[in-house]
Structures are given as structure tokens and as C-alpha cells.
Amino acid sequence: MTPTIALEDIAKEYPGVRALAGVSLDLRAGEVHALVGENGAGKSTLIRILSGDTRPNRGRILVRGQEVQFHSPHDARRCGIATIFQELMVVPGLSVAENVVLGNEPTVGWGRQLYSRRRAVRIAQETLQGLGLAVAIDPRAPMETLSTAQKQIVEIARALIRDAPVIVLDEPTAALSDKEAEALLRILRRLREKGTAILYVSHRLNEVRGLADRITVLRGGHHIATLPAKAIKDTAQLIELMVGRPLDELFPSRGDVRGETVFAVQGLTRQGAFEDVSFSVRAREILGVAGLIGAGRTEVMRAIFGADPLERGTVVKDGRMLAIRTPADAIAAGLAYLPEDRKEQGLVLTLPGYENLALASLERYGAWGLVSWGRLRRAAQDVASRLQFRGNLEAPARTISGGNQQKLVIGKWVLSKADIMIFDEPTRGIDVGAKAEVYRLMHQLAEQGAAVIVVSSELPELMNLCHRMIVMSGGRVRDELEAANFDERRILAAAFAAHVTNDAPREVTQ
């Protein structure tokens, strides 16, 4: 049977970079085809070509056997390809129904010019119901009241309205909790049954193995392999294909050379976000902070760092109480905070890599308020090589791959001589190989004397990485465990504590 979409020998070059070198791929009706690979492997480029955002330098695109040329995303959509990007493309000011029918508004009346809201609501209602959601989304609700996961579902509904026979998803579960991701996967399975051809790009390899029928691996712009999912015995096999060599150990071995308690917070409270949060960290310790999305972990860390206000509570470092009102205060006290969203909050993408590295320590590279570029560059190069940074330090940070961008953020805090490092979701959106390097760096920082706090929603990551863990739920600390006692069931029970008991659940914002 002719595949719905076939890409033949696609090549794409950007100035100085060969993004794709002769990649062939096909999508069949009623099948989920997964695409995996490290950052820089060419996945995003392939998606942009499929969605009509850019044109290949070489190669053919065939829709049901006919060759086509996409001059714009509009052409791709007209051929039936609906693309759902990692960044949600919803209009927050409109209602759910309006978003669902966006571009396909139902019209009535003379010349079919009058927009029919009633019909739009009905269409949206039917489509959303067809997705088999556990909890219904009200089509009349304003878009901004929806959670990220729900917004994603609305985007899928929009794709369905067009009866898109082909749906391309780029990292759809990156920002979703496990439960929400499961709901999304159920919807995708249902679509598969209906005969939709689905291209699914994700870093979550276990998820991919559970969902896909076939998996294609890209590496360095080349097509490495396309395998039926059943043929893959374990995730390590996939990882090795992606990385090109056997991956001995994702996590460095966890020694125990922990020192005294160097950092302690007590009774941290901000109404509506978190309450009575207390914990401590020892030198050379990696403390994990587990919990569901919305548990208040990021809020606590940002408040400790001075980025958001703190109503009550104390922060003590090396026996001294700190008065932190702004990030500058926190940095002066030796704290570092790597934000969840490194592009939005961690880096100035227009500035070159070396300047980003120096951003929190500019005063060290010159006297009298001046900047000595020579000194700055040397310090930047030194820390970059220590972190095994790969990329061009002179180029703007936006041109650098995700894993290396994260190294820039880490390097920034190394240069600021911080000894309390707070990592917030440090491996989000980073490929497997880069994750291993970030874990190695965290261990290195700890071994060199820092106290490391890691907030993460990936439990396996925390369980393998940390010496100790606290679990938050509904804005409070529910449990604390040493590594020897790490138990998935116990941690999950604590993570769900606020959702299970009638504990006056708070309105916790993301």
C-alpha cells in the first residue's frame, strides 16, 4: 500500500551546517512512526520540512505517491499534514471553540461571511468528545484557563477538524505530567485506530517504545535505522543507536563523601504557593526535590533565590542567616539557580556564549566598572573546556544546541563561584548523551564541595542521582528519604498526598 507520506533522500544545509544528509522516511496510515535522535540529529529540521516551514535542498516529498512541493506551511496543511509543535500555537485571548475552529471557522448566511459561534461550539464539542477525554473541556471556556496539557489537546482537536490524515508531533509530552502524558497517548492510540498516520518525535524513549509501531533513529543528519518497535529489546539498544557507541553508564556512581549541613531553610511560606517548607542540605550532597507539576517546588526555589517574594521563613547558610530580597543578594551569598526554562530565563540568546558565561560575574573581569574582554574570554574558555562544552563560544547563544546551552547556564554559576546550586528540571528537552554529561557535572560540582539541590519530575533520574530526597505536594513537604530507602511507591504516595486527602487543596500555580 502506498504510504501516505514519503520523504525520499531529503537533504538540507544551513550556512556551515549540514542538517540533513539524504534521509528517507515514510508515514503509513494507521501507524505511529517515532523519530528519535540527539539534539542536532536533524529531527527539528525534518519536521520543519514536513510542515512546510522550510524547503529541502535536495530530495522529494510524496503525498500518496504524488510528488509535491511545499512553498509554505499552508501548502503542507492543504495536503493534510497537521503539525503540533513543542511551543503551543494557541491564541490565549480566544475561547476553546474559537481555537479549535481557527482557520476553519464555520460560516453561515449570504456569501458565507458570517461567523457562526453556535456552530463553532457544536463542532468543538463533537471533536473533543471524539477524543474520548476523561474530563471534558468546556468549548466556551477561555483558552487561558486551560492547563498546558488541555491546551495541547485543543491543538490536536484543531488538527482533527481538518480531518488531517497526517499528524506530526514534536515533543508533545515534554511539559506534561505522567498522568497527562498518558491521556495524550491514549488519544493518539485512538487516532491510530481511526487510520491517521502519526509522526511522533520525543526524547522520552520509554514512552516512544510503548506507543510506536516503527522507530527511526537519526544521528548527525543521517538516517541510521528504521526498526519495528517490537524488534527493540531494551532502551539501551536505542540509546546506542542514537549515540553511536555503547553507553556504559548514564549515571555516575554515587559515592558518599557528604560533609556538614551548610544550608538550611525553615518555615518558608507564601500564601497560595507553599507553606511551612523546611529542609537542609549538606556539603557535597545532592538533594532531590520530587513531586508532581504544580507541587510548588519551583516556587520555593525561586523564593529562596530572591526571584519571587517570601512571606515567612528563614534561610541560613554556613550558620549565618541570609536576608535575600533580590537575585543579586542570593548570588552575593553564593547561591545559584538554574531555571526550568533555560531559553526564557537562563540565557540571553542574542549575546555570544562567552558573555552568557560571564553574565553573573561581570565584576570579576575588570576594575572601575569596566570590562576587560581578554580576561572575560579567558575565564569563559577555561570553564567551557572544563564542562566539555561543544559549540562556538563566539556565536550567539541561540545557535547552540540544548545540551550545550545548559552547560552555558551551569558554567555561568561556576564562574560566579556559587556553592549552593539549585537545578530546576536540568535535563528537560536534552538528549540522552547530554543528560549523562549534566549528571556527571552535578557530581563533579558536589565533589568539589558544593551543595546541590535538584528539582525534577523524572523520578528515575532523581532516584539514581541523589543522596537524599524530599517530596513536595500541594505546597508542603510530605516526606524525606535517604538513598538507601528510595522506594518508588512511597515517593509517589507522598507526591499525590495533596490530591488524595481532603487537605484543603491549594490553588497552586505552575
Partner 1 sequence: MANSAGGEIKRAGAIAPRQEWLRNFLRNNARDIGLPLAVIALVILFSATSPVFATVQNFRNIGVAAAALAAVSFGQTFTILTAGLDLSVGSTVALVSVVTAFGMRGQGVAIGAAEGLLAGAAVGLVNGILITRFKVFPFIATLAMLSIMSGLALNLSSGVAVSGLPQRFGELAYELTAGVPVPVVIALLVLAVSHFVLRYVRLGRHIYAVGGNEEAARLSGINVDRVKVAAYVICGFCAAVGALILTSRVASGQPTLGTSLPLESVAAVVLGGVSLFGGRGSVVGVAFGVAFVSILSNGLNLLNVSSYTQLMVIGAALIVAVTLDQAIVRRRAGE
Contact between 495 and 288 (Cβ < 8 Å): no
Per-residue burial over 296-324, b if 16 or more Cβ lie within 10 Å, else e, is: bbbbbbbbbbbbeebeebebebeeeebeb
Minimum Å gap between C-beta 400 and partner 1 is 7
Query: Which CB sits closer to partner 1, 324 or 491?
Result: 324
Query: Which CB sits closer to partner 1, 76 or 128?
Result: 76
Cα–Cα separations (whole angstroms), residue 65 to 226, 246, 262: 20, 38, 66
Minimum Å gap between C-beta 258 and partner 1 is 28
Minimum Å gap between C-beta 302 and partner 1 is 9
Q: Report how far apart the first and last C-alpha atoms of the chain are (Å, whole number).
A: 46
Q: Which of 323, 326, 325, 307 is nearest to 315 (CA)?
A: 323
Cell 481532603, located at residue? 502
Query: Which CB sits closer to partner 1, 55 or 258?
Result: 55
Please state, in angstroms and rounded to a whole number, the distance separating the CA atoms of residues 102 and 285. Answer: 51
Query: Which CB sits closer to partner 1, 407 or 478?
Result: 407
Minimum Å gap between C-beta 303 and partner 1 is 13
Minimum Å gap between C-beta 59 and partner 1 is 15
Query: Which CB sits closer to partner 1, 363 or 447?
Result: 363
- 143: helix, strand or coil: helix
Query: Which CB sits closer to partner 1, 176 or 384?
Result: 384
The single-letter code of the amino acid at 467 is: H
Q: What stretch of H or E contains 115?
A: strand 114-115
Minimum Å gap between C-beta 344 and partner 1 is 7
Minimum Å gap between C-beta 350 and partner 1 is 4
Q: Return residues touching partner 1 (CB under 8 A).
A: 12-18, 38-41, 54, 219-220, 243-245, 305, 307, 326-328, 330-332, 337, 339, 344-351, 355, 359-360, 362-363, 366, 369-371, 373, 388, 390-392, 399-401, 403-404, 412, 416, 431, 433-434, 436-437
Query: Which CB sits closer to partner 1, 210 or 244?
Result: 244
Please state, in angstroms and rounded to a whole number, the distance separating the CA atoms of residues 502 and 295. Answer: 16
Please state, in angstroms and rounded to a whole number, the distance separating the CA atoms of residues 414 and 426. Answer: 15
Query: Using N-to-C axis directions, what is the helix angle for 402-415 and 373-386, rounded to 10°?
Result: 120
